[in-house]
Amino acid sequence: MKKLFIVLGLIQFCSASSFAADFTNSLFTASVQASTPVTALSKDAALFGTWESMPMVFDGGLQMVLSISFAADGVTMANTCSAGGDSVTVSVKGDFDTDGNTISVTGNDTKSDSKGGVTCNVQIKPAQVTYQLNGGMFLDLTMQGQTLNLHKKN
């Protein structure tokens, strides 16, 4: 769960049943926002495509997969939540710029959906995250000393 902290400024992920409230309250009470706007940035085409986390499994069988898709027209953040045979995916979109090693995400949107006993949420907020591409197949996002490792989705 340590690696989830990187996502605080970018996406708010949630879960199923009573676990959702505890998970949200314990991990997402604080948010990270850019304190000063970044200007004169561009989009790094090497980031384009969809990047996905390995499945994260929590108590009670809840599973989450985080994905981030970068394109010329913006960034899409998605969260897929699964438990007890039910699965739901929610996504939001915002804009982004890069300066070679920092992604600056803009926009402010929240989505939520439920299916069966699974409720899944995603939120995008303004934030800055450093990034490193590794061999074109791996993307490391780092914020406040925490790194989230993503792999390129086929």
**pLDDT tens, residue by residue, 63-111:** 999 999 999 899 999 999 999 889 999 999 999 988 888 999 988 899 9
Note the pTM of the prediction, 2 decimals: 0.70
Angle 51-35-67 from CA coordinates, rounded to 5°: 10
CA–CA distance, 151 with 149 (Å, rounded to integer): 7
Q: What is the pLDDT of residues 12-23, one digit of tens each?
A: 333 332 233 333
Q: What are phi and psi of 95, to 5 degrees?
A: -100, 160
| Residue 85 one-letter amino acid | G
What local confidence, expressed as pLDDT, does residue 15 receive? 30
Q: Report helix, strand and coil shares of the chain as percent, to nearest 5.
A: 15, 50, 30
Three-class SS of residue 101? coil
Q: What integer best gives the mean pLDDT of the chain?
A: 75
Q: Which position has the higher pLDDT, 84 or 36? A: 84
Confidence of residue 1 (pLDDT cuts 50, 70, 90): very low
Q: What is the pLDDT of residues 114-129, one digit of tens each?
A: 998 889 999 999 999 9
CA–CA distance, 19 with 9 (Å, rounded to integer): 21
What local confidence, expressed as pLDDT, does residue 42 receive? 58
Q: What is the residue extent of each domain of the chain?
A: 2-152
